[in-house]
Structure 1
């Protein structure tokens, strides 16, 4: 009887209600609700199924009471890239919440704060570091062809997206 009680206790500790170990779950806290997962303390939804332009991506995220992710920390970028690689989501580029649509050359996040320029977030194209698109490329995405560093894309490009639930 004593051994069966220990087994039940161990089973309760190691297995969630759906039969999956808690350690295998990407969610670190109870704040993020499906489809969002906790990445570096932020609730993110990395949607690699849908592909749409930047404005449609903002509308899509808004349907989840969220917006495109604000990547204002290099560690957050690294954690997102780690997640993308670990989950095998590397075949797509992803919209994030930066643009210079309001004023050319003045890159801001959807919340109005400034996007940090240069290293360590923006990728390079030959000898030039992004953004390099001028008036034609005004929205920021994580570029699958450049190790998921920031790249300025045409806002009408149809790529996947990352939503952030603001808590």
Structure 2
């Protein structure tokens, strides 16, 4: 079947002339509105052009019809990292939708679901291999950290970073 479709395309035939099986027409399992793309079965937008504080970038995501990304699934998280690397996006800091602001040490997603702590999400660092987050009351917003291979880290909410939005 695939060889037949390829031959038709080489001959200049349009797919709209033929009734093709749905699996050949749709990419992925979800339909995403621009600028969002399907990543790991979800609609995400990795914004490499804009930077701002955690709250500014959350509002930016909302203006696009989404919110900060919730990475509560290891397979989705891995798919996102592959998406970033595979598209040549810069290895930078990216805000995600987790915070412990107002309840130090209790990390929750923007929908108030608890964030899984430790491996495989949070970075390790230093000679003692300290597990993040370790920023105390000064660092209350989560980001994917460029210095830790895009593992989670806690950052100062007022610092500027890129953002990953989810619809």
Fold conserved between structures, TM > 0.5: yes
- Aligned positions, number: 150
Runs of 4+ aligned residues of structure 1 deviating over 4 Å after TM superposition are: none
Alignment check: 8 A CA contact 2:30 2:41 kept: no
Superposition TM-score, scaled by structure 1 size? 0.83
Show structure 1 runs of 5+ residues with no match.
14-21
Deviations 1:40-64 (A, max 9, x none): 1100010011010000011001101
Aligned-partner SS, 2:77 = helix
Shift of 1:8: 3.6
* Equivalent runs, 1:126-165 vs 2, <5 Å: 126=126, 127-165=129-167
Shift of 1:29: 4.8
* Equivalent runs, 1:1-167 vs 2, <5 Å: 6=8, 7-9=11-13, 11-12=14-15, 28-29=28-29, 31-126=31-126, 127-165=129-167
Superposition TM-score, scaled by structure 2 size? 0.83
Show structure 2 runs of 5+ residues with no match.
1-6, 17-23
